Amino acid sequence: MTIQLPENLKKLRRVRELTQEELAERLGVSPQSISKWERGDNSPDIYMLPLIANFFEVSVDELLGMEIIRDEKRVEDAKKWTREYHSQAHIDTYEPVLELWEELARERPHNWDVQYEYAGALLGTQGGKSPEEQEKLRRAAIAVFRRILENSADPELRANVSGNLIFYLQTLYEFDEARELIDKTPRIDQSRLRYEVDHALAVLRKYNADNDYTTPERCKQIDPDKARELIAPFKSATAQYMLLATVPFSQYLHWAKAYGLISVDEYAELAKLRVPFQQITMLDDITPQSLTHINSYIAIAYIEAGDIDKALDYFEAEIEADLTVDWSLTSETVRQTVGKDGSLHVERFNEPLRAQLIRGWEESKAFDPIKNEPRFKTALEKLSADKPEENE
């Protein structure tokens, strides 16, 4: 928040069609003082403020721009309240957030920062809503995003809005407008890679849904040329962005396998190439456990192919990596449930990261076909065997 005196003083002087010299003479100060006040290099003494305000027939508050300052504070207070509301452990509804920003947006139709927050509030109330209601909320947010792009010159805000607009247009299968926005994003912008991958994935999923390629068996019945066309953007993004391209490379492998363009063994060997990519891009954050989640993807691929022995080989390799995670490491768990009345219930709590891993393996439906295998049970027991005793 900044005092608006320099800008207001210059505007008031020009409305009166006065030069700096003429205003200085009327106020009994030097032209240099007026110049410094208007540049913001200096400010008038406090006793001068009523004289200046009286001369221009405005209040001191108007001269200083206090209304703007108070307005800015209200917006900042609203942002703070919204953050605190979202951080609560138990939230039944996000409607109060929407009501707050709806009112602020209505009062400030040309404050694009407020409009952006309003669009976010619209999207945040989707939980527990019917598909029709969710689409209505998304379209309302998209309309706000479009207005911001048409009117705001703030580069940071425009970049954020553009990213959101691309994403939500794709959820509604409005690919042409999303593609235009992606093409306007500079290739040196790292967000461009994410946009490219998300767009290609949305197009692919829409094609699959429209043509009932929704099961592993059905996916393999797709025309190979069409399959190659659908996964070509992932391959292209991998080639363009190289070491940053872990995500498109993974998508390429997944869908090449799903469409039957490569065998499971070929998938396994290619998937291992992700390790050197991650070794470079993750830098100091690298851990054996974070790298070898690749083993779980390969294990699932062999489960789908019916090769249980190879699936268990890779599952056991994954568990060996999980054993490097110390029990002292904790992570926040977030659980969301929707009540019978449609209200959203959010529960947050910290627990050992190792416990999260164990629960993840126990609850994962992808591993159901091998959960009764002795090797699976033995590996999981090994993961929980060294759990420290809890203090009474």
Closest to 164 in 3D by CA, of 195, 118, 125, 137: 195
Per-residue DSSP letter, 41 = S
The DSSP string of 234-277 is HHHHHHHHGGG-HHHHHHHHHHHHHTTSS-HHHHHHHHTTHHHH
Q: Return d(Cα 185, Cα 276) in angstroms, integer.
A: 28
| CA atoms of 306 and 308, how far apart (whole Å) | 6
Cα separation, 65 vs 296, in Å, equals 60
- How remote is the C-alpha of 131 from its chain's centroid? 21
Output the pLDDT for position 386. 72
Torsional sign, CA 168, 172, 174, 179: positive
217: DSSP letter: H
**CB 323 within 8 Å of CB 383:** yes
pLDDT tens profile 152-166:
888 899 999 999 999
Phi–psi pair at 349, nearest 5 degrees: -160, 155
Residue partners of 180: CB distance under 8 A and separation at least 6: none
Phi, psi of 346 (to 5 degrees): -115, 130
What six digits make up the tokens of 342? 């449609």
| Class of residue 222 by CB neighbours under 10 A (exposed 0-12, middle 13-18, buried 19+) | buried
Answer positive or negative: Cα dihedral of 173, 175, 181, 183: positive
Q: How many residues does the chain have?
A: 392
Say how far apart CA 255 and CA 238 lie, in whole Å: 14
From the number of C-beta atoms within 10 Å of its C-beta (0-12, 13-18, 19+), residue 176 rates as exposed
Q: What pLDDT is recorded for position 384?
A: 84
* Domains defined for the chain, CATH in brackets: 5-64 (1.10.260.40)
**Shortest CA distance to 125 belongs to which of 341, 337, 343, 339?**
343
Q: What is the pLDDT of residue 383?
A: 86
What integer best gives the mean pLDDT of the chain? 83
Q: Please give the backbone phi and psi of residue 237, each rounded to the nearest 5 degrees, phi first.
A: -65, -40
137, 120 Cβ separation under 8 angstroms:
no
Q: In whole angstroms, what is the distance from residue 360 CA to residue 215 CA? A: 23
Query: Please, are residues 160 and 116 in contact by the beta-carbon 8 Å criterion?
Result: yes
d(CA 289, CA 59): 65
- Write out residues in the chain with pLDDT < 50, as ranges: 1-2, 276-291, 391-392
Is the alpha carbon torsion for 166, 149, 107, 85 positive or negative?
Answer: positive
> 386 CB contacts (<8 Å, ≥6 apart)?
327
Report the C-alpha gap between 287 and 269 in whole angstroms. 21
Question: Read out DSSP for 279-304?
Answer: HHHSGGG--HHHHTHHHHHHHHHHHH
